[in-house]
Amino acid sequence: MTRLFNDPAAFADEALEGFAAAHRRWVRPVTGGVVRAAATPAGQVAVVIGGGSGHYPAFSGLVGRGLAHGAAVGNVFASPSARQIHSVAEAAHGGAGVLLMYGNYAGDVLHFGQAAERLAADGIDTRTFAVADDISSAGPDDSAKRRGIAGDLPVFKAAAVAAEQGLPLDEVLGVAERAGARTRSFGIAFSGCTLPGADHPLFTVPEARMAVGLGIHGEPGIGEEALPTADEAARLLVETLLGELPEDVAGPGGQRAAVILNGLGSVKYEELFVVYRKVAALLGEAGVEIVDPEVGELVTSFDMAGVSLTLTWLDDRLEELWRAPADTPAYRKGALGTPEPEQAPVTTRAQDTAVPDTAALPPASDASREAAGTVLAALDAVARVVDTHADELGRIDAVAGDGDHGIGMRRGSTAAQRAATDAHGLGAGAGTVLARAADAWADKAGGTSGALWGTILRSLGTALGDQEAPDAPRVADGVTEASAAVRRLGGAEVGDKTMVDVLVPFADTLAAATAEGLPLSDAWDRAATAATEAAAGTAGLLPRRGRARPHAEKSLGTPDAGAHSLALITRAVHGVLLNH
C-alpha cells in the first residue's frame, strides 16, 4: 500500500513537484506538468503525452530527447484537465504543431480533445492520438474501444523520434498510427493497488488465484485463473498475444518484435527476469526475432502485483524508431551526446493568469449578485455531501472501475466551491460564479467526471447569466441544456449505466414540473426524487461505456458511482433551495 503521503488530495501535485526537483537536467515544471529542460527546436513538432498520476515512469518520466517534449499530469488515476494539457502543449510548442498522445480512456479523450480545440483556436496546429493496445478490454472488432496500457511506450517513442527527425505534423501522426496498429498488450495480476489514504486495495484476488486481463487504474481483471508458475504465466502471456496478430502480419515466423515485459508495481525485477527467460524462449520457438527487449517497470499502477507483456510488430521503419537513442529521467537507450543546457522557465498564458479582480468581471445586476449567494450556498452543499460520501463513492466505483470517483469528486467540488467563493466575494453575478466554478471543477478533478461536471455548471451559468434574477423556467432550461451537453460531450445515453441515466430524468422532470407552474423548490424536490430512483435503477444495468465496460458482469447489482453522486447532489441542493 501507499504509506508515505501528506494530504491524499495533494499527493499527485507533491509527487510531481518532487519529480521535477530531482530531474532538473531533463525537465522543468510548467502549469499542469513538465516539459523538456531545453526548448523544442524551432520547426520541430512537439509530442506531448499525458495521463493520470500513479503510473510512474509514465508519464512525466518519459520526457526528454528521443521521447516526449512534455507531459501533462493529472490527479491519481484521472486524466489531466484541458487547461493543464493546453498549458503544457503551449510551453512545448516549437512552431511546427503539437501531437497530443494518451491512453484510450474516456476522461483523456474528452480533455485532450478539448485541449486540441483550444490550441487550434490559439493558432497552434494540433493532432491527437489515443493508444489502444490492451487486447483484454475489447475484441478485435471493437479495437477502438481498447484501453491503453504499457503499449504507450513504443507508440510514444516512435512518434517522438519521427518528430525529432523533422517530419511534419501529419506524418508524425501517421507514424503513431502505424505503431499503434502494430502494438498489442495483455496483463495479469495477483493483487490490486491501494490509493494514497485508502486502507484497502481497489480489488483483491483470492489466495492461489490470479486476475487475468487487468487494467492499469486498479481495475480488476476480466477473469480469474489458478496461480501459475513463472513459466505458465509466460506461456499465457505469449500465447494470448500470438493469438491476435495485426492484419498485415501473416504469422509470427520470421517477424521482428519490440518486446516489453512490464512490472506493475510490486513484482520485483528478479521475478520479471524469471518470467522473461521463458517469454524469450517461447517467442524464439515461434520464429520471432526479439529487438531491444525491455524488462522492468515502465507503466505501473502504484503497488499492484502484476505484469503485462507488450509486442510491437516491427517493419524496417518502426525498428529504426524503436532502436533510436533516448535520454529521459526514467528511460535511456544508446547515446545522444552532451545534454542540452537547462533554460529559464517559460511563462505560459495559463501561468500568467492572476486571480481575477473586479475589473475583469462581467457587469452584473443586483438581482443576479443576490442569486449568486444562493449559487454559492448550493456549491457549499455540494462540496459537503461529496466529502461525506467520498469513501462510499470510491467503493462503488471500485467494484468494476478504478475506485477514484470519490477522490475526483472531492477535488472538483472543493475547487468549485473555492472559486465560487472568490468570484462571489468580488461581486460576480450568478452566471460568472457558476462559470468560474465550472473551470475550477474541470481543472482540479480531471477525468471524465471533471469534464462532465464542468460542462454541467457552465451550461447552468450560461442559462442564468449575470443580468436577470433566475426563475424556475430559466433554471430548468439550464439543466436541460446541461443534460444535452453532457450527452454530446460524453456520447452516453440512457441505459449505458452512467450519470446520464440520472441527469436525463432529473432534467425532464424538472422541466415538466416548472411547466406546471410549481415553485423552483417544489419542482426541484420532484426532480431530485426522480434522480434518486434512477440512480438506484442503475444497479440493474450493465455498463456500455467507460472503464467499467470490460467488467460489466461485476457491476451488476451495484449502482453507477457517477449516477449515485449526481442523485446525492440534487437532493443536497434541494435543501438549499428550501432556505433561499
Are the C-beta atoms of residues 363 and 466 closer than 8 Å to each other?
yes
Q: What's the angle, vertex CA 38, arms to CA 33 and CA 39, rounded to 5? A: 80
Torsion sign (Cα): 181, 88, 170, 39: negative
Please give the grid coordinates belonging to residue 329.
Answer: 529521467
Query: What is the C-alpha separation between 375 and 369, in angstroms, rounded?
Result: 10
User: What is the pLDDT, as a whole number, of residue 489?
Assistant: 86
Q: Where in the chain is the domain with CATH 3.40.50.10440?
A: 1-131
Query: Rounded CA gap, 88 and 530, in Å?
Result: 42
Please tell me the CATH code under which domain 357-579 is placed: 1.25.40.340
Residue limits of CATH 1.25.40.340 in the chain:
357-579
- Can you give the pLDDT at residue 365? 96
Residues 6+ apart with CB under 8 A from 320: none
What's the pLDDT score for residue 549?
54
66's torsion region: left (phi>0), alpha (psi -120 to 50) or beta? left
User: Which pTM value belongs to this model?
Assistant: 0.85
Domain 1-131 has CATH 3.40.50.10440: yes
Pull the grid cell for residue 360: 475583469
Separation CA 269–CA 287 (nearest Å): 26
Low-confidence ranges of the chain (pLDDT < 70): 1, 218-220, 337-359, 400-402, 545-554
332 φ, ψ to 5°? -135, 140
Residue 355 is predicted with a pLDDT of: 39
The whole-angstrom separation of Cα 369 and Cα 379 is 15
- Between the CA atoms of 230, 232, 237 and 240, what dihedral angle is there, to the nearest 10 degrees? 180
Q: What are phi and psi of 188, to 5 degrees?
A: -135, 160
Residue type, 568: L
Q: Please check whether the domain covering 180-324 is classified as CATH 3.30.1360.170.
A: no
Q: What is the predicted pLDDT for the residue at 268?
A: 94
Please indicate whether residue 200 is annotated as part of the active site: no
Q: What is the pLDDT of residue 338?
A: 62
In this predicted structure, what is the pLDDT of residue 564? 96
Position 340 scores a pLDDT of 56
In degrees and rounded to multiples of 5, residue 211 shows phi and psi of: -90, 140
Q: Which residues in the chain are classed under CATH 3.30.1180.20?
A: 180-324
Residue 200 is predicted with a pLDDT of 77
Nearest to 507 by CA among 490, 525, 527, 492: 527
Predicted confidence at residue 458, as pLDDT, reads 95
Amino acid at 295: V
What Cα–Cα distance (Å) separates residue 265 from each residue in 61, 85, 247, 472? Answer: 15, 26, 32, 52
Query: What cell does 376 get?
Result: 454559492
22 CB-contact burial (10 Å; exposed 0-12 / middle 13-18 / buried 19+): exposed
Amino acid at 148: G
User: Considering 93, 111, 217, 424, which one is annotated as catalytic?
Assistant: 217
pLDDT value at residue 98? 98
